[in-house]
Amino acid sequence: MYQLEHTHYFYLLLVIPLMILGFLALSRWKNNTQNKYISSDLLKVLSPDISTFKPKVKLFLFSLFIVFSTISLVNPKIGTELKTVKREGVDLVFALDVSKSMLAEDIAPNRLEKGKRIVSEIINSLNNDRVGIIAYAASALPILPITDDYSTAKTFLQSLNTDMLSSQGTAITESINLAKEFYDDEEQTNRVLVLLSDGEDHEVNSEDIISLVQQSGMTIISVGLGSIKGSPIPIKENNIIKTYKKNDKGDVVITKLNKELLSSISKSSKGIYIDGFNTEQVVESVVERLKEMDKKEFESKQFVAYKDQFQWFIAFAILFLSLELFVFEKKTYWVKKLNLFNE
């Protein structure tokens, strides 16, 4: 396995074809100038030690110097060493509501995009914690199991949309039940579920869900997305609002934030409820809450430690530069005797 640390230095290799073009142009100019004033036979008599091959050798050696110098600047790394690392942190599962009500625009740009932005910013603020992602509507869907790969988590996060689950609704109980399966240690005390939703679950019994939360052993941080006043759910075509979602009677549906339900869920799990309008405030509150929690030592993780290899290429670069400096343009006496280059 290998890595190239600074690949932009490869652009320095463009100097080589420019050098070759310059060398060819200069050689052609010299030949044309000499032919104007002196014949080639007379030139060999007057300057018998001039070599026509060695300038090409010097160009070749200097080109190798540039190649190896460039590679050393790129700093190739080869993975040859295995290390074991132990880290302490919190297992954090994000459960994001992807029901159609999350398309309401009472929180900019809409509830779903706001929720995704909040999760992304929280991940950016984490250090040694592990994260997982759940999407839910009328049912819950595991998107990403517990991992410490934050870049992958954010990639999966951006793929969430309101069309990924055909059944509609807001089944908070489904997401809580699924979240319990994400944790690999039933006895750990730092299992955190960040619930991002408008809380509009028409089928849930608040007493049942509170009982479920208390039995889960999780700390639930609820982030309310939306307004208590409510907002219609837009139906768009090419990002243009064509109409609004209506019920069976033909009335426009107004979806409202159920702050009471989300607050009671968090309170019953010794968590906190946060209003989702201010992203920075949400992130700060979540990070502060995580700092107060006990940290778990995760299982040892093996990874490849890459060793720098630039020093080898510097050595070769110095070697070729030294050879170029000690190669003179005059013919070498013993090589001249061998006449290897038919000069």
DSSP code, position 331 = P
Mean pLDDT for the stretch of residues 109-120: 96
pLDDT, residue 4, reads 85
Interatomic CA distance for residues 96 and 25, integer angstroms: 66
CB atoms within 10 A of CB 165: 19
pLDDT digits (tens, 9 = 90+) for 152-177: 999 999 999 998 887 766 678 889 99
Interatomic CA distance for residues 239 and 235, integer angstroms: 9
> What is the 3-state composition of the chain as percent helix, strand, coil, each rounded to the nearest 5?
45, 25, 30
H/E element holding 254?
Answer: strand 254-255
Name which of 235, 220, 215 is nearest 190 in CA terms: 220
> Is pLDDT at 297 greater than 90 in this prediction?
no
pLDDT digits (tens, 9 = 90+) for 47-65: 666 677 788 888 999 999 9
In Å, the largest CA–CA distance within the chain is 109
pLDDT digits (tens, 9 = 90+) for 174-233: 899 999 888 866 656 678 999 999 988 655 666 778 888 888 888 999 999 999 999 999
pTM for the model stands at 0.63
pLDDT digits (tens, 9 = 90+) for 245-287: 998 888 999 999 999 999 999 999 989 999 999 999 999 999 9
Strand 76-85 versus strand 2-4 pairing type: antiparallel
H/E element holding 304?
Answer: strand 301-308
H/E element holding 174?
Answer: helix 172-180
Mean pLDDT for the stretch of residues 298-307: 62
| Domain locations along the chain | 2-81+305-338, 88-297
Which of the four pLDDT bands, split at 50, 70 and 90, describes residue 151?
A: very high
pLDDT, residue 114, reads 97
Interatomic CA distance for residues 270 and 272, integer angstroms: 7
- The Cα-based distances of 214 to 1, 208, 268 in angstroms read 47, 10, 6
CB atoms within 10 A of CB 125: 12
Which of the four pLDDT bands, split at 50, 70 and 90, describes residue 293?
A: confident
Give me the DSSP letters along 21-84. Answer: HHHHHHHHHHHHHHHHHS-HHHHHHH-TTB-SSHHHHHHHHHHHHHHHHHHHHH-EEEEEEEEE
Q: Is residue 322 helix, strand or coil?
A: helix
Sign of the alpha-carbon torsion through 104, 107, 113, 115: negative
pLDDT, residue 240, reads 86
Cβ–Cβ < 8 Å for 91, 132: yes
Cβ–Cβ < 8 Å for 233, 104: yes
pLDDT digits (tens, 9 = 90+) for 120-131: 999 999 988 889
- The Cα-based distances of 192 to 104, 105, 128, 150, 182 in angstroms read 27, 28, 14, 17, 11
CATH of segment(s) 88-297:
3.40.50.410
Interatomic CA distance for residues 253 and 245, integer angstroms: 6
Which of the four pLDDT bands, split at 50, 70 and 90, describes residue 33?
A: confident
- The percent of residues in the chain predicted with pLDDT above 90, rounded, is 48
Sign of the alpha-carbon torsion through 316, 319, 324, 330: negative
Select the highest-mean-pLDDT range: 33-37, 92-96, 289-293, 303-307: 92-96
- Phi, psi angles (nearest 5°) of residue 120: -60, -40
pLDDT, residue 3, reads 77
Name residues whose C-beta falls within 8 Å of residue 335's C-beta, 6 or more positions apart in sequence: 341
